[in-house]
Structure 1
């Protein structure tokens, strides 16, 4: 009799555990892949942790998550010039973009040495201090205005060409600041800034 009672108790406990698992399972399934798992799709161009090893691809490790989400939304809405990013961005929901943004924000940016012109870099440091430091603090290191310091120089060059050619929308105040830098330094302004940011480690 005691044995039957124990068996009955075991069956009830097992049934309760099964009911809890069945209740939790749909939530676990609907949660979908993590930000880290989704970020693996970016590894081919931006590196496994967001530190790009391709000179025409930006590093996105340590990027402010809001900057990441805003950029991806701009690609998704075809508001930003791109070869393939606009198609890639359309595959993600707003919530998924936020999760990916937080993953990349948590990664440590790895910088790689680049060849740069020391004279231009020194001029770029002066121009940065005068026109760019207010938004791109600490020499352009990761922050809520994006990452400039240590970015690949070809990427920075192509990006500035997009702004100047009208293929990319200027952020607030940026055009006025860039125009002022060009007025002061002429054709050397953009190369100087690019060499300065590329010299940062």
Structure 2
């Protein structure tokens, strides 16, 4: 019961928060306007490059919020800012509606990157690598669902849902099937304060209490969620 404390407390706080209301965009117009986004995010919002986020199936309100943040400078990105500057609010709604209507693709089976191996130690066998990856994903699963009470790390499930489907009324993003590399970068940016455009800076408050291993574990786990 005590292990669920962080999940329950933050969920109760969110229950009293005010949701966001966004106008519906035109998906047909959004597809045309999103053509310039395909190079990084994929034609249907399923980026094949792990450093760029998948946008397919993401909540419209969340996408509009991020585009506005890029445009205003609230969220810093030398790549996205110039693109967002050329969009009016209707275009943002149309693009967001298009991506929200697409289906996010599943990721291939995860694998530990080669740079995780220590050159001074004997190479790990395939079985050792498999066991290490399974342990990492199990650690990420526990952190996602239960948090870490000793370090006051809140459970991800409270805001992002049991299946990482997010919270549409509150404009909390869906995370399932997102690239692990992108999630690691994003959580690290929240942890270091490089990104802060979220309500009451809650992600920084959570991220700064996470270890690098926590971030890696939960990112790998989320990337396997469907």
**TM-score interval, normalised by the smaller of the two chains:** 0.7 to 0.9
Contact persistence 2:190–2:207 (CA under 8 A) = no
Deviation at 1:143, TM superposition (A): 4.3
- What TM-score, normalized to structure 2? 0.67
Structure with the higher fraction of residues in helix conformation: 1
With a CA cutoff of 8 Å and minimum separation of 6, indicate the structure with the bigger relative contact order: 2
Of 65, 71, 74, which residue of structure 1 is paired with 2:69? Answer: 74
Which residues in structure 2 correspond to 1:114-153 (within 5 Å)? 114-116=109-111, 117-130=133-146, 131-141=155-165, 143-144=167-168, 145-153=172-180
Which secondary structure does the structure 2 equivalent of 1:113 belong to?
coil
Contact persistence 1:163–1:170 (CA under 8 A) = no
Aligned pair 1:53/2:48, yes or no? yes
In structure 2, runs of 5+ residues without a counterpart are: 1-25, 112-132, 147-154
Deviation sequence 1:18-53 (CA, Å, 0-9, x none): xxxxxxxxxxxxx9x811100111111101110111
Deviation at 1:65, TM superposition (A): 0.6
Q: Which runs of 4+ in 1 moved over 4 A?
A: none
For 2:206 and 2:163, how far apart are their aligned partners in 1?
16
Contact persistence 1:62–1:142 (CA under 8 A) = no
For 1:107 and 1:151, how far apart are their aligned partners in 2?
14
For 1:171 and 1:47, how far apart are their aligned partners in 2?
25
Deviation at 1:177, TM superposition (A): 3.5
- What TM-score, normalized to structure 1? 0.75
In structure 1, runs of 5+ residues without a counterpart are: 1-30
